[in-house]
Structure 1
Amino acid sequence: MTKRILVTGSNGLLGQKLVELLRQQQPGVELIASSRGTNKLADLYPDLRFVVLDVTDRAQVQQVLQAERPTHLIHTAAMTNVDECELNRESCWLQNVTAVEYLIEACQQFDIHLTYVSTDFIFSGEQGPLTEEAAPGPVNFYGESKLAAEQAVQASSARWAIVRTVLVYGTAHEYGRTNIVLWVRNSLRAGKPIKVVDDQLRTPTLAEDLAQGCWLVAQHDAAGVYNISSSELLTPYQMALQVADYFHLDKSLITRVDASTFSQPAKRPLRTGFIITKAQRDLGYVPHTFQEGIALLARQTAD
């Protein structure tokens, strides 16, 4: 059966990777890209079906999903800047919770399978790596908003899956935000000393792997919660050293610090990272190593 997949947030990093993956590799998939703004991918994919969708507008959500009638919706749009969420709580709640409630309502009404993308920041950071059954306990407002949306999804009568991920990195078309790989590389190339924390543990996720995980969930009509990340538990400092080694850059410019060095509006969980056995077993998910991820970014940025 043809899967008609609508992706929200198609201008974002994950959204772009999903568009690329679903366009090029998946026969039997009809893709609808959607975003609040104009389509950034129009020049790359002139034939891409694109609809404007502001997920914080309930009437527009109803109208678009009724008109397009996707079989699956992969919801990647969110407010993800953790400090911005802490400082602008009303906007964070609207984008990360209220919008999800609107999507749930429409998915229930039109029998659409919903894949909701969540985060390791729903956890306290006291222990990790974590399974899908770990008890949540967010330490910042971003985590609170994502957990509230998860709970709304789980309480719904829609067909749903939750994909949790960790520290996503990658590069995309006209995408202004940086990531740990490019930040370290570009800083060291410029001879700029950097401070990198060594007391936070994560399983960093290549954006292509996250897109693959979301597609596998939709492909299998999977239900429940799935951890989608790499299986390597690393500190940002360890990641920075790997980046320096790969590009043959001066590691002496990297100073190891702990999180207390930085004063940020939002607290970060110290130790997260995921155990991904369930996704590997049930979905056939196979992530890249961090080294392979660095190499892919190097090729994509022609370095």
Structure 2
Amino acid sequence: MDELMQKKRILITGSNGFLGQKLTDLMVLSGAYELCCTSQSANKNPNQKGYRFEQINLLDFDKIAALIEDFKPSHIIHTAAITSVEVCEQQADLCQQINVDAVDFIASICKKNQIHFTFLSTDFVFDGKNGPYDELAEPQPCNAYGQSKWAAEQKIQAHAGSYAILRTILVYGIIADQNRSNLVLWAKNKLSQGEAIQVVDDQWRMPTWVDDLAKACILAVEKNAEGIFHIAGEQMFSILEAVYEVADFWQLDKSLISSIHAKELGQAENRPQKTGFILTKAKQELGFIPTGFRASLPYIQEQMTTLNR
């Protein structure tokens, strides 16, 4: 059989997103996949070779169905979503359509065509009162975003055939499209410019390196993983502690950092206080190996240096 015919055929939605771009780059680099990427806007990934790109609105179900029929993926990795807590609260109908209805539609197509479906979810399906959580913990979202992701998970479990749901936490790192920011880059850039920043000191997370999350998606594909998996870093930090780590690594002025309580930002009720994941299942069943937060920073610096050459 021709080598190309043996390659898994992967459709990535939301390929302009932070994870979507990293996943595209890793899969292209591996040379092991036939890849089709989709996003609502034109391709923003500086790396535009080695895969097919289609600009498609996630709510254009006819075009989504036609693309799946044409490309015939063996696997779909669905990263597309509205992830802003505030946008999900302010635009409830759009949140429902993008984060739930579109997921349900794609999941149903996957079942009909025996396509493995990998879905990205969030720690925000939990209220943050009993973290860290394992996969059997009962979701209790405290905001519209978390509610939409939990609703989507339930649709997948009801209507998808073969699926893996990967929940993750506070994703950080760097990709070639340096317009995409996150906690680490935000803190580094602000402090490097001598700007004072306020950082929440009473919310706790286990930050996830985007490279690790992308590799977890690939593991889910390779193993045709089934069920829910928790993917995150292994270390729990307050948001403030994580920013101090960034300042320490890049030798930036920590006196520019001041703490603030979530309540002062209006985030005490609509953000979980302490999440975190128990990673045993992902380690044992996927072979997931998380990179420590501190250990990831030299890699990020190396990636920055390479991108800026």
* TM-score under structure 2 length normalisation: 0.93
Q: Match of 1:161, SS?
A: strand
Aligned twin of 1:35 = 39
Q: Which moved more, 1:164-173 or 1:143-152?
A: 164-173
Counterpart of 2:20 in 1: which secondary structure?
helix
Q: Using the TM superposition, give the Cα deviation of residue 26 of structure 1 relative to its aligned residue in structure 2, in angstroms.
A: 5.0
Q: Which amino acid aligns with 1:185?
A: K
Residue aligning to 2:3: none
Runs of 4+ in 1 over 4 A off after TM superposition: none
Report what 1:70 is aligned to.
73
Find 1:82's aligned residue among 75, 81, 85.
85
What SS does structure 2 have at the residue aligned with 1:127? coil
Per the alignment, residue 7 of structure 1 pairs with: 12
Distance in 1 between the 2:302 and 2:216 partners? 22
Q: Secondary structure at the match of 1:271?
A: coil
Q: Is 2:275 aligned against 1:253? A: no
**Is there any run of 5+ residues in structure 1 with no aligned partner, and where?**
none
Does residue 189 (structure 1) correspond to residue 180 (structure 2)? The answer is no
Quick check: 2:104–2:159 contact (8 Å CA) kept in 1?
no
SS at match of 2:191: helix
- CA gap of 1:152–1:122, structure 2 versus 1, over 3 A, is same
Superposed CA RMSD: 1.7
Q: Note the 1:154-169 alignment, pairs <5 A.
A: 154-169=157-172
Query: C-alpha distance in 1, partners of 2:273/2:81?
Result: 23
Letter in 2 for 1:240: V
Q: Which residue of 2 aligns with 1:137?
A: 140
Q: What is the aligned counterpart of 1:103 among 101, 106, 125?
A: 106
Shift in Å, 1:266? 7.2
Unaligned 5+ segments in structure 2 are 1-5
Question: How far apart are the structure 1 equivalents of 2:77 and 2:69?
Answer: 16
**1:75, distance to aligned residue in structure 2 (A):** 0.2
| Aligned residues of 1:56 and 1:102 also touching (Cα < 8 A) | no
CA–CA distance in structure 1, aligned partners of residues 161 and 58 of structure 2: 17
**Is the contact between residue 12 and residue 175 of structure 1 (CA under 8 Å) also seen in structure 2?**
no
Q: In structure 2, what is the Cα distance between the partners aligned to 1:189 and 1:52?
A: 36
Alpha-carbon separation, structure 1, partners of 2:8 and 2:121: 23
Partner of 1:217: 220
1:267 corresponds to 2:273: no
Structure 2 residue corresponding to 1:239, chosen from 234, 242, 246: 242
